[in-house]
Amino acid sequence: MLPRQNDQDIVRKQERYKEEDFKKIIRSMGLKITDQRLLIINCLHDSEAKSGERHVTAQELFEKVSKKDSNIGFATVYRFLRDLANKGFVTEVRMGGQSSRYELTTKEHHDHLTCTKCGKICEFENKKIEKLQVQVAEYFGFVLTNHILELYGICPSCQAKGE
């Protein structure tokens, strides 16, 4: 059984990017910097900063983008989001048969705990779990280079509703 984390053990940093950072990302992908691409990545970043909702579906991102420019189609948003994910600039959180959720990849590592009823995603980092993952990798002769840990369960709110 894992001990309860102290508040100082829970890591959640709000990273702020500038437009120049987004231009560097787009250039590094070998793509032309366009107003559409900048708007998409800005909307993804702004949704995190303003609402605190770090994990959005492609549809939610499209809705944010289309409020600012109705000429940008869903396919454009989705394709660029997939390109960002494939290059590691965006992290995709998958959850069974539900829509994938996306967040800008942070510099600080974190794992996810997702409610299978409402889709709420909690981010956490636990030093003991991180150490155990390295031990498991070493046991099998691996040198751990990266990992994604996604845990699934039912959040307190859904438990209270009896769901």
In a domain, 6, yes or no: no
Q: What is the mean pLDDT of residues 62-75?
A: 95
45 is in an annotated binding site: no
Q: Are 142 and 121 in contact (CB under 8 A)?
A: no
The residue segments making up the domain with residue 93 are: 16-107
Cα dihedral: 64, 158, 150, 40 (round 10) = 0
147 is in an annotated binding site: yes
Same domain, 117 and 154: yes
In a domain, 151, yes or no: yes
Residue 64 has what pLDDT? 92
Dump pLDDT digits (tens) for 76-124: 999 999 999 999 888 887 766 667 888 877 666 777 787 888 777 777 7
Same domain, 155 and 127: yes
- The backbone torsions φ and ψ at residue 57, rounded to the nearest 5 degrees and listed phi first, read -80, 165
122 is in an annotated binding site: no
Dump pLDDT digits (tens) for 7-33: 444 444 455 678 888 999 999 999 999
Cβ-based neighbour number of residue 97 at 10 Å? 5
130 is in an annotated binding site: yes
Same domain, 94 and 133: no
Residue 73 has what pLDDT? 95
Please report where in the chains the tokens 């102290």 appear, as a residue: 6
Report residue 85 as tokens. 């994910």
Residue 61 has what pLDDT? 93
In a domain, 10, yes or no: no
Same domain, 150 and 98: no
In a domain, 72, yes or no: yes
Same domain, 135 and 102: no
- The backbone torsions φ and ψ at residue 80, rounded to the nearest 5 degrees and listed phi first, read -65, -40
Residue 135 has what pLDDT? 92
Question: Which pTM value belongs to this model?
Answer: 0.62
Q: Are 93 and 102 in contact (CB under 8 A)?
A: yes
Residues 6+ apart with CB under 8 A from 74: 58, 59, 62
Mean pLDDT of the residues in the chain = 80
111 is in an annotated binding site: yes
**Tally of domains within the chain:** 2
Q: What is the mean pLDDT of residues 63-81?
A: 95
Mapping DSSP to helix (H, G, I), strand (E, B) and coil, where does residue 104 land?
strand
CA angle 58, 80, 55 (to 5 degrees): 35
158 is in an annotated binding site: yes
Same domain, 76 and 99: yes
Same domain, 101 and 23: yes
Confidence check: pLDDT of 3 > 80:
no
